[in-house]
Amino acid sequence: MTDWSLSQLLAGLHDDIQQRLEIVRKSLGHPVTKGDASEKVWLELLQTYLPHRYQAEKAHIVDSNGVFSDQIDVVVFDRQYSPFIFRYEGQTVIPAESVYAVFEAKQTINASQVTYAMKKVASVRRLHRTSLPIPYAKGTYPAKPLIPIYGGVLAFESDWTPSLGQPLLDALGEGEDDSRLDLGCIAAHGYFDLNQNSRRYEIHAGGKSATAFLFKLISQLQFSGTVPMIDIQAYSKWLLP
């Protein structure tokens, strides 16, 4: 016999995230401080529990044409196959080819925050990404097709009543291909995801939503495969003479 309980472990992970977000929401007064603390909670969740081939950071994303995205609260990116991660004085810049997913982190979710998250996601998806043929012992594989970049929103609670009802679905339905949100978590209420087959949103209310969202994200990443082989020479044209 053992006193270990998997259900309690998984529930405890969600409870910890929800409690930390609630403390941030209720205890910190300055909006910027509150926002930074919320981002940190989500980043630490992903940094701790995602497989090590992935990393999560707050960052800007750049392409080989020198175009930058907006600053993104949570970027999930590759560190196994992607070189060229620039860090300076707390700022991180990531090449577009290495990105798997991007999230906007907010205290609460409403129509304007969904629209804002869509704008942030679109600023990443519109970047140019390179993909080189892959050499191997017997020849060369063709350049890998670009993988989809998942986009989403993370929050503690919802301004809507019901919290995860039709108003959320209506707001999510406003997204175009570049700006659509694929999944998100509202820790106090549940999570949502875009069914890749039906292309319809599915709402998962209640339960241990932070843990359920984490598992859903990992599952999505597993089906993404690996990022394309970056053409690092395409970035070299920006070297100063």
Active site residues: 73, 104, 106
CB-CB neighbours of 90 under 10 Å: 6
Handedness of CA 125, 224, 204, 57 (dihedral sign): negative
Long-range contacts of 169-175 (CB under 8 A, 24+ apart): 169/201, 169/203, 170/111, 171/110, 171/111, 171/114, 171/115, 172/114, 172/201, 173/201, 174/114, 174/115, 174/118, 175/118
- To the nearest 10 degrees (0 to 180), the angle between helices 31-49 and 6-27 is 160
Q: In sequence order, which ranges of the chain are alpha helices (DSSP H)?
A: 6-27, 31-49, 111-125, 166-172, 209-224
Handedness of CA 206, 207, 209, 214 (dihedral sign): negative
Which residues share a beta bridge with 155? 106, 186
DSSP 23: H
The residue among 233, 230, 237, 241 whose CA lies nearest residue 81 is 230
Which residues share a beta bridge with 201? 194
